[in-house]
A and B are shown apart, each in its own frame.
Chain A
Amino acid sequence: MRNRYLLQQLFLFLILSTILWITSVWCMHYASVLTLEVLHSKPHANGWTSWIYELYPRLQTEKWRFNENFFISKTKQVLIRSTLSLQLLAGLYLFRSYIALPLRTTYYKLVQVYISRKYLSIITLLLYTCLLLVVYNAIMEFKDLVFFSPFYKPIGIARLLLPTFPSMSILWLIYILLMGSIIAVILLPKKWIAASIAAIAFIYYQLILFGFGKYDHGYSTLTYALLIYPFFLWEAGKSKESIIPAWSIVLIQWMICLAYFYCGLEKIFTSGIYWFYSDNLQQHLLIHNTSLGLKLAAYSTVCKILSLGVLLLQWSFILLPFQKRLVYLLLPAGFIFHSASWLLLDAGGIFNPWWGVYLFFLFPLLSQETKSDRV
């Protein structure tokens, strides 16, 4: 009976998927027409096209750099990704009775974890030292950025929060909040409040930098960690038990792993099979023009192997929450990857927050059973 029901659900899923993809392909034609209409319109023209420029201000520049096909392929990507997401949702709904139990078991196994209180201070110290290394010089950067203030064009939420380049007093306030909250998290009680202020001040710091056109992802995993970590500190402050609920640490681990996984997935979505056989890495090395990078660019086969290696590394991160032993392989590999990006492509610096947040994988978590033994 159950098998028959499963067959019915499978059939329904196939029908739904077919309808979704046929609709998607049908929409692609109209999406291409609309894309051309946007490209040929002026940013401040009346009508719906001006909204596209509002949502995506960089189009004003990029439409002169790339040809129409480039943007049409991007629009098709939006449809492909939306269709895949809908297909996934349909699958989850149709097969909910089959996947609910294993999903729930996995969820509780992953989330009902604890960490010994003895690690609280060291994790906090390491995380906020990472942040300190990133922002200690922020006020000097802010002072110098005044030279560039006429070119400040905020995007997204920054248009509401920081519509014009902030005055020096506001910049000082952001800096004092940042540094003060970092010190307070490390030294004072009620850490979660200071940690929340630090996270918000750090977002303000990034919004100011992003106002100059380059939207950097260099701080993304650190930002996720800083936004979630106050919940851990809040849990720690609620009781004096020797173990602390660590669902927030697990959530941070997931965010880090998903960030890598999506970076790997993005390469395939964006570049397709070209990623494997093009001279992509070689070209990047030549463009970034570092002495080590130029030497490596001479070895075509090595570049192709490294391109494949990067994908494998980034995809493998999704396995980390399920197979803890992979930390011994993936974390050193990730460290080498970021250091190599710095040496070969001049991306990032000697300290990279992406490997800074690996600290969340370094401390043992206790499951429900082991917690009972400890208590």
Chain B
Amino acid sequence: MTDLFPFMRFGMFAETVQSTPQKEIFSLQILLPDGRRQLLSERQIGLDESHLNYLARTYFYQQQLDFFALHLKKSGLLKEKERLVIIHKTLEENHWKQDVLFDQ
């Protein structure tokens, strides 16, 4: 069915990377009290980095990223004095361009 219905095949390696949206990553990071940064997926949270990327992307494009981020912030995944930072990275001419979407 999925072979007849190619809409299901997003994000697979079958798709050649040509347009900017295909070169984007949403990175969820924790800003530790000492200033270091840690990927949220490095903590045992049930979802890996690619899952988090999908979720953040979904809520970003549906203009609900704040809802997503604030829930994560309140859910108990972060310790006291830790900040959640969501970064939107796009690969442009082999260099990463970064935008901070959320930092609280």
Contact = CB atoms under 8 A, between A and B. Distances in A.
A152 to B, nearest CB: 10
A284 B9 CA distance: 16
Given A58-B10, A65-B61, A262 B5 contact: no
Interface in A69-101: 70, 74, 77-78, 81-82, 85
Interface centre among B5, B10, B46, B75 (most CB of A within 10 A): B46
Contacts of B7: 56, 58-59, 74, 78
Contact of A150 (B17, B44, B58, B71): B71
A143 interface: yes
- Secondary structure call for the A interface: helix
Interface in B16-43: 16-19, 21-23, 25
Contacts of B59: 151
Contact of A151 (B22, B55, B57, B76): B55
A267 B14 contact: yes
Contact of A215 (B8, B45, B46): B8
Contacts of B14: 263, 266-267, 269-271
B87 interface: no
Contacts of B91: 283, 286-287
A270 B10 contact: no
A212 B53 CA distance: 11
A270 B9 contact: yes
A146 B76 CA distance: 11
B47 interface: yes
Interface of B: 3-10, 12-19, 21-23, 25, 44-47, 49-51, 54-55, 57-59, 61-62, 68, 71-72, 75-77, 91, 94
The 4 closest A-B pairs by CB, nearest first: A144-B46, A283-B17, A145-B46, A65-B21
25 contacts: A56-B7, A58-B7, A62-B61, A64-B62, A65-B57, A66-B19, A74-B6, A140-B44, A141-B46, A147-B75, A147-B76, A148-B55, A213-B54, A214-B51, A215-B8, A266-B3, A269-B6, A269-B14, A270-B6, A270-B14, A275-B16, A278-B16, A278-B18, A283-B17, A287-B25
